[in-house]
Structure 1
Amino acid sequence: MPTFDDALADAAEMSEAMRGLAHATRRVDRPEQLYPVLGDLLGSVRSLEQILGQLATAHETLSDRATDDAGDGPAGRSDAAATVTELRAAAVLISQAEPRLDAGMGAAGRIAWHSEPVSDVRREFINVVFLQGEEADQIFETITLQGADQAIEHLARHDLGDETVDAALENGYVYDQPPVGQLDKTATRDAYTLVYNPFVGHVGLYRQRDALPDPVLIGLEDPPRQAAARTAAERAATQGAERSRRERLGATTVNRPPAASHQVGRGLGR
């Protein structure tokens, strides 16, 4: 147990504890212990920086008592001054390590550990719809008046399941993560991520490629009737948005013949 007033005894205990931790972390079988261990280690690093500074100050303030083994005072004070310099330099290095350890602990805190190894499944996001100009302004108004969830629900009507996935694959609108610019804002609902920027004037809706959204959200109870309900104006607006997106991204246009027998309701993704 620490004494809090006997530096020699507490230093010896700290040394023994660090040796024990070095031995215990050679193999970790319970990963859920890693985060609290990092927390204690972060506290120790912060204390170590303080300790080094205090030891440097002690060598400085007590230097008038220092000599070398032969009793030479100037030589002893010179060594004390050198010790002060090195200890303070070490404290600076520890202070630089502390924010890196803090950031590492923050990342570790976002990990959800499983009892067994999990398969490495790559998530891909496909673009459902991209709007800009006046069409995007209408979505910004919806976000302002009714919230981002309502905007997502409105834009999710453009999601035609396999047809949307096929179009995204053919045109190259597939991403490891939804593309988010420096000033872009995001919102999520169900399988969808909304990316919008009222300053630049664009809105994009993205979905995990293999995710199955809430059928109520996208109205899949009667997809043929839903598709037929789209007006000519809506189709023209969508086509205009697609042309704008292709021009912006430089993607190759793919002209696909209409799939008359394709039933949207058979699923989202493969």
Structure 2
Amino acid sequence: MPTFNDPLADAADASEALRGLAHASRTFDNPADTYAVFGDVISGVRSLRQVLDQLADAHLTHRERAHDDSGNHAAGAESALTSADELHQAGTLLDQVHDRLDAAFGHSGKIAWHPEPALEGAPLSEPAARRWVSVVFLQGEDADGVLDLIDRDGTDAAIEHLKRFDYGDETTSAAMENGYVYEEPPAGPLDRVVADGDYILTSNGAMGHVSLLRALPVPPDPPLAGSSATHRREATRTSPVADRDWFAGPAGGTASVGRELSL
């Protein structure tokens, strides 16, 4: 919850909220939901514009206290002025971002999204049932080393490195407990997706994140007949896993353990 008086706490909350939105918005089951998200994003841009101006003002107001690492006041004051100028320019550019978003918002509001057409007939055969568990998700500085590894040595090397985060049944149990199990590997339209056996690597250098998922076979129901057999089959069926955001940092899950590793 915002404090409205503690910029450190509110900045941390805003950063975490935007991080969550960046990952949650990778897929929209109902495209009509984009309109509401659009409105909140535009509101956020307006607030960000105000934040940039206030950061610039703080640099100007307190420039008499500015020194460099050597204690040189003149150099520190010059850096404060330069920083304030760059912040003001960033705010000006953000005005253009707001105008573009507002125009896109208007066009989006003219769209009447129709329901997804139903498939006619049943599929001829069902693919082998399996799910995907999140082995690890890294973002920002945590992902930089792996993204550099991809650029330098390729995706195979990155997959081998990220496999070190996989602790087998322990990883699977943590993913099941925290809801990081998916029918399909989650990936955005701009993500790079590479499959290697039972593993799938997704990466996005522009967004600064990388993840590894592992296939989890779903055991078939036993071929029992009759109502009592049906009852027993339903009783032994795996409980569905809650559909939660796999990008949020798992509580005590695989990502928190794996981030202690280094290249």
**What is the TM-score when the length of structure 1 is the normalising length?**
0.43
Higher relative contact order (CA 8 A, sep 6+): 2
**What is the TM-score when the length of structure 2 is the normalising length?**
0.44
Q: Which has the larger radius of gyration?
A: 1
